[in-house]
Amino acid sequence: MEPEVSRETITQTEPKTRIFAVANQKGGVGKTTTTVNIAAALAADGKQVLVIDLDPQGNASTALAIGHHRGVKDSYEVLAKGLPIAEAIQPVPNTPNLFCVPATIDLAGAEWDLLTMMAWESRLTRPIQNYLKAHKETHGVDLDYVLIDCPPSLGRLTMTALVAAPEVLIPVQCEYYALEGVDQLLNTLQIVQESLNSQMHKLTVLLTMFDPRTRLSQDVADLVKARFGDAALNTYIPRSVRVSEAPSNQQTVLAYDPTSTGAVAYVNAAREISGYSNLGFSESVTITLLGEQA
Ligand code: ATP
Ligand code: MG
């Protein structure tokens, strides 16, 4: 049965560092593009931002010009060997405030490794929390954002990110069957909430590859708004050649063409995201799964 989505208020105090899993198990919907460009927009706004590449494809690392050949310290070592994030983190070139933990192809084995690991579900939570604590001690201020770029699956890699992140940013591509992947993601979130930690997730939905000339894009936008209400950002990311060209130049679209429609849209989306944090979790409308008891 399709899980119902309902509104509920979370009463926990607002975390100082906002941690997002950027997830949707449907492939090619704009997870990586969204991760790196929202991260770059937040960093340009003076926020301290860490991107964790949790996809063996290493696309976020590539887009941020972070070397991720075998041998580079990466998110696999963090997950599988307990390497402190501080030892794997790299500054993103020419981008103040933005840092990245890359993924190498080694991460491809992590799904399998996690099957046999004790406390596998907290293999990402603990290193992130340790890093945030150390960051505060060293710099005297909190890191502002962590964005985790998830692979296109709902395996254990994605689940470690969902356990580590109180917030989930779901890019939805404006296409037929756009919400199919989202329903499976919501089911997985419910499993994570019920069986791996009790924390409820705050959802944010971002429409990607929107084409205002097509009826389909508008239909998907209406569907998303009807289903997710305020959790759907008002900003849509347009389909834009500049957005798709930027990664081959190892740049975000903000660096590649800051005045392009795609760059402007990502800046606006990032402003919406940072804006609603001011509400605080206890006041914000939060969508959470109520499942069958709803
Ligand atoms: P995967 O599931 O493989 O990790 P993904 O969900 O991370 O994919 P992306 O890699 O971000 O998706 O995007 C898929 C493709 O669509 C890429 O070639 C990207 O350049 C292109 N793309 C993403 N967003 C846009 C956009 N707004 N306009 C044009 N092309 C886009
Ligand atoms: Mg990706």
Q: Does ligand 1 come within 6 angstroms of the Cβ of 244?
A: yes
Question: Which ligand 1 atom lies nearest to the CA of residue 59?
Answer: 10
Domain positions in the chain are: 7-293
Q: Does ligand 1 come within 6 angstroms of the Cβ of 273?
A: no
* DSSP tag of 194: I
Q: Which pLDDT belongs to residue 15?
A: 45
Q: Which pLDDT belongs to residue 289?
A: 39
Q: Please tell me whether the overall predicted TM-score, pTM, comes out greater than 0.95 for this model.
A: no
Interior CA angle at 160 toward 146 and 101, to 5°? 40
Q: Which pLDDT belongs to residue 280?
A: 43
Query: Rounded to an integer, what is the distance from CA 42 to the centroid of its chain?
Result: 13
Secondary structure of the chain: what % helix, strand, coil (to 5)?
A: 45, 20, 35
* Distance between CA atoms of residues 231 and 168, nearest Å: 11
Q: Which of 32, 214, 245, 266 gets mutated to test ligand 1 (max ligand atoms within 8 A of its CB)?
A: 32
- Three-class DSSP category at 46: coil
- Residues with Cβ–ion distance below 5 A, ligand 2: 31-32, 59
Q: Please report which residue ranges of 165-202 form alpha helices under DSSP H.
A: 180-191
Instruction: Show Cβ contacts of residue 31 under 8 Å, excluding neighbours closer than 6 positions.
Output: 22, 23, 24, 55, 149, 150, 152, 171
Q: Does ligand 1 come within 6 angstroms of the Cβ of 239?
A: yes
Q: Which pLDDT belongs to residue 282?
A: 38
pLDDT per residue of the chain (294 residues) written in tens, 0 to 9: 444 444 343 333 344 899 999 999 999 999 999 999 999 999 999 999 999 999 999 999 999 999 999 999 999 999 999 999 999 999 999 999 999 999 999 999 999 999 898 889 999 999 999 999 999 999 899 999 999 999 999 999 999 999 999 999 999 999 888 888 888 888 888 888 888 765 778 999 999 999 999 999 999 999 999 989 999 999 999 999 999 999 999 999 999 999 999 999 999 999 999 987 644 443 333 444 333 332
Q: Does ligand 1 come within 6 angstroms of the Cβ of 267?
A: no
Q: Please report which residue ranges of 47-155 form alpha helices under DSSP H.
A: 59-63, 75-81, 85-88, 110-115, 125-139
Closest protein CA for atom 17 of ligand 1: 244
Fold classification of 7-293 is Rossmann fold (3.40.50)
Q: Which pLDDT belongs to residue 193?
A: 84
In the beta sheet, which residues pair with residue 8?
Answer: 286
Q: Which of 22, 33, 148 gets mutated to test ligand 1 (max ligand atoms within 8 A of its CB)?
A: 33
